Amino acid sequence: MGENVIYYGPPGTGKTYLLQEMMSDYIDYQVSDDQVRNAYISNTEEWILIAMIMLQNHGKMRPTEIQQKIDSLRLGTVINVISVLEEHNMDVSALGVTRTPPCVFFECEGGSWYVNRIRVQQGMPDFFDRFLSDSEVDKRYAFVTFHQSFSYEDFIEGIRPEYVEETNSIDYSPKPGIFKTLCAKASRHPEKEYAVFIDEINRGNISEIFGELISLIEVDKRQGMANELSATLPYSKESFVVPSNINLFGTMNSADRSVGAIDIALRRRFKFIPMVPDSSIIADELRMNGVDPTNVEGIDVIKLFDTMNSRIELLLDRNHLLGQALFMSVRTADDIVTVIREKAVPLLEEYFFSDLQKVQMVFNDLDEAGELRDNPIYKHSTLTVDGYFDYIGDYLLDDKKHYSVNPELNISSLLHVYGE
């Protein structure tokens, strides 16, 4: 049965990344045994062999099934499947088992294991081109990003002029949009699941894009359901019903000012699942890469991240917190400085554009007397009216503070964020 879900939260909390992970569940690779053998022979990496076997079986298998497949390939080598899966496991071991990059597998409920296609590509960028370039790929999904110019004609159907070379003419017949095209495919294959992934769903005009189909996407009004509902499309005049085997997944940035304008009809027809900043994800990612998240050259990244977000929530709200994605790739103190200077500060300047002193408060740059600490992250200087003008006439000008990132910020600048 289809479902409608929107994942919402501050920027950097992994919403789009989640959609990318979910897309992999809607890709079928036609992988032959010869491709599996050749991949292993050309590389001899055991994780590659197991990843290929899992992709051959839609990405999810039990270790015993993987072992049986390896045995049937007669590669002339003995491979301990469980050991390889654990060695390249994405989850941090509670028993201190050493992980070896790339970490691409994780265990699901019921004892099955899953291969993360995004992690595979991150670990070996040419993996799919190198080993699967000749494979037939069946993508059972459509991906789209909503924006102000995106319309019903793009999503459902509309008249889009198209040049026909054979007749040297323009075709003005109605053309199916992204959603209608995928629905047609889903109707032909009711045994499979299909999905539409909509990034930034709140940036589009929902009422205009979905039109009369806003009611048809409800789960109980899908094809074959008790309250099945159809509609006649305005351009093609076809009777249209949404298949029950198609899912709609969307993302929504809660820091975006357009969130409040979300159509109430959309709110009633989707499940909303929050995605909040989570420092444990940073900790797991850093540990998986051999970095202690509580001591990156003296910096406790977890305490730094949590402290800044607590202050942002006090000064603003939970919709404008910093996402964990900002700190996922840090490996050194210089990396943290770069993240603060190039990502955190610009974001905070946008959040507090009308009161930049609050940026200093997030970084704890002011002491008990309100004076700048030594070596702050976000410093200021005062622009005095008398210092720049000999004459101001009838203009009422006040002295202003000029704010900027400290070009000398370093480890000591970061330590005072969380009081050390």
- Give mean pLDDT, residues 70-94: 87
Pair of tokens at residue 382: 């005062």
Give domain status of residue 24, yes or no. Answer: no
Closest CA to 85 of 100, 68, 95: 100
pLDDT, one tens digit per residue, over 256-307 is 755 555 667 677 888 999 999 999 999 999 998 889 999 999 999 999 999 9
Give domain status of residue 414, yes or no. Answer: yes
State residue 1's pLDDT score: 64
Count other C-beta atoms under 10 Å from residue 42's C-beta: 11
pLDDT, one tens digit per residue, over 199-236 is 998 888 888 898 888 889 998 999 988 889 999 998 88
State residue 96's pLDDT score: 65
Give domain status of residue 382, yes or no. Answer: yes
Give domain status of residue 15, yes or no. Answer: no
- Give mean pLDDT, residues 38-50: 91
Give domain status of residue 18, yes or no. Answer: no
State residue 267's pLDDT score: 77
Task: Say whether both 177 and 66 belong to one domain.
Answer: no
Task: Say whether both 306 and 395 belong to one domain.
Answer: yes
Task: Say whether both 355 and 238 belong to one domain.
Answer: no
Residue type, 57: N
Q: Which of 134, 158, 191 is the last residue of a domain?
A: 134
Count other C-beta atoms under 10 Å from residue 153's C-beta: 17
- Calculate helix-pair angle for 33-43, 63-73, nearest 10 degrees: 80
Mean pLDDT score of the chain, rounded to an integer?
A: 89
Task: Say whether both 306 and 267 belong to one domain.
Answer: no
> Locate tokens 């202050």: which residue?
311
- Do you find a cis peptide bond into 63, omega within 30 degrees of 0? no
Task: Say whether both 83 and 62 belong to one domain.
Answer: yes
Q: Which of 247, 274, 301 is the last residue of a domain?
A: 274
Share of the chain above pLDDT 90, in %: 59
Give domain status of residue 329, yes or no. Answer: yes
CATH assignment at residue 247: 3.40.50
Closest CA to 10 of 267, 204, 276: 276
Residue span of the structural domain in which 219 resides: 141-274
Task: Say whether both 128 and 163 belong to one domain.
Answer: no
Task: Say whether both 252 and 186 belong to one domain.
Answer: yes
Task: Say whether both 228 and 303 belong to one domain.
Answer: no
pLDDT, one tens digit per residue, over 369-412 is 989 999 999 999 999 999 999 999 999 999 999 999 999 998 99
Are the C-beta atoms of residues 350 and 332 closer than 8 Å to each other? no
Task: Say whether both 147 and 270 belong to one domain.
Answer: yes
- Give mean pLDDT, residues 55-78: 89
pLDDT, one tens digit per residue, over 90-119 is 887 656 667 888 999 988 878 889 998 888
Give domain status of residue 169, yes or no. Answer: yes
| 14: exposed, middle or buried (Cβ count in 10 Å: 0-12, 13-18, 19+) | buried
State residue 262's pLDDT score: 63
Q: Which of 109, 134, 159 is the last residue of a domain?
A: 134
pLDDT, one tens digit per residue, over 143-162 is 999 988 999 999 999 887 77
Question: Total domain count for the chain?
Answer: 3
Task: Say whether both 146 and 261 belong to one domain.
Answer: yes
- Give mean pLDDT, residues 320-336: 95
Query: What is the maximum alpha-carbon separation in the chain?
Result: 91
Neighbour-count burial for 104-139, b at 16+ CB within 10 Å, e otherwise: bbeeeeeeebbbbbebbeebbeebbeebbeeeeeee
- Give mean pLDDT, residues 18-38: 89
Give domain status of residue 1, yes or no. Answer: no
- Give mean pLDDT, residues 185-193: 90
